[in-house]
Amino acid sequence: MAKKRKQSAESGPTSKKLKQDTPQPVVEDSPLIGNLIYYDELETTTDTLLALAKNPSLIGLKALKPFKTAVHDYWRVAHETTNTGSSLTSRISSALVDQRHVDALVLLSEMVIREQMPKLGALQRWVRECDAVLTPSMSEAEENQVWHVLDAILRTTQPELIPTHQEAGGTLRPGTRLRWYEPFTVQPPSTDLCKHSIDPETIAESAALTLKPLQVTPGLERRPPNKHAAVIFYSPPNTFPLASATDRTREPQRHDLPGVPGAFIINDVFETAECRSLVTAAEKVGLLPDEPISGSATQLASVLAHNLIWLADTQFLSVLYNRIVAHLPQTVHGGSVKGINARFRLYRYRPGALYRPHVRRAPSPCCESRLFEMIYLDRRCVARLRAG
């Protein structure tokens, strides 16, 4: 619209003649592009960018600072969602999306030589891409190549986690790069005689009213963009009361995971009633779907779990930490164990959902988490904690 008005003012009768001779473009029925942007708004923005490109002396003006920030954010999101760009990280992402695994191996080798380290988000995307392409229809050679790439990713980005020696056990099957171990689990006793009077339904009802949104990130502002917002809830002290040490029925026990250096399971972290309180409260508050609107086809096709993000209170964290601290390594890569990250995610898996192999770390402005805790609140409400 702005462009047409400008041309009309400059050209006069000539422009009218041209308009009569030029076929009119077909305009979509909807006045919005993607139900978000008007056509004339996009045209005005395009005109503005072209004008600035022709007049670079204006770019340094203070008045254009918000505009330049918006342009920067646009390019950042465009590169993230389309895996384009000339950086080494972007080229590796593009190779993985296109399933050019040999190219990915070459580029990962270059990253090692140049001593570059990708950001956490890139590492997580790479692992998801490798896992997502693994299908039962793949040939053994194709599957081995994917595992080769995944191995190279982990060795390139986390060399400190490479074990100095190969643990005994497991079976290396002919024609594969993987060492297979028997499924490992430790079944807890079936009895639960907690002396602490915890009514899960009452606690859940109260928690559903007490948990309040602390931060809401609109779906389009998430990285990567999502169909749904990310809502972080917080809880005041004693929202989820935990039994004291004297009221516990069983003490937590640690079991090291064979074949995975540094990984272990701690049984009996929570009582059955405590598990039910958390599960029921999450159901009452509501678990949000997780549906990215950008990424590769393999990522978009994944069935992700619904989740609730919860910032736990210090009282809950203190009791939980005291239950497990004796079973945690006191130092990890030079860092001392200090406490538990307050940011929890409660997941509910639906039919078809798959907990894919992935890399997860929790960086913060002052430190980086070196242990990842995953608490299982399964159907029998038995809580186990796996860390690694």
The answer to whether residue 3 sits within a structural domain is yes
13 with 150, same domain: the answer is: no
348 with 258, same domain: the answer is: yes
246 with 334, same domain: the answer is: yes
What is the domain range of residue 149? 88-157
* Domain stops at, among 127, 142, 157: 157
211 with 352, same domain: the answer is: yes
299 with 380, same domain: the answer is: yes
Give 241's contacts (C-beta < 8 A, 6+ positions apart): 198, 203
For the chain, the domain total comes to 3
Burial class (CB in 10 A: 0-12, 13-18, 19+), 264: middle
Please name the residue that has the structure tokens 């964290």. 317
> pLDDT per position in the chain (388 positions), as tens?
444 444 444 444 433 333 334 444 444 456 788 778 898 899 999 999 999 988 888 888 889 988 988 888 887 777 666 656 678 888 898 899 888 999 999 999 999 999 888 888 788 888 888 877 777 777 888 888 888 998 899 888 877 767 666 666 777 777 776 777 787 777 766 665 555 567 889 999 999 999 999 999 999 888 778 889 999 999 999 999 998 888 887 889 999 888 777 788 898 898 888 989 999 999 999 999 888 886 654 555 556 788 999 999 999 999 999 999 999 988 877 778 888 889 998 988 777 666 666 666 554 444 555 677 777 776 544 444 444 4
25 with 93, same domain: the answer is: no
Check: CB of residue 146 under 8 Å from CB of residue 134.
yes
The answer to whether residue 380 sits within a structural domain is yes
97 with 32, same domain: the answer is: no
102 with 23, same domain: the answer is: no
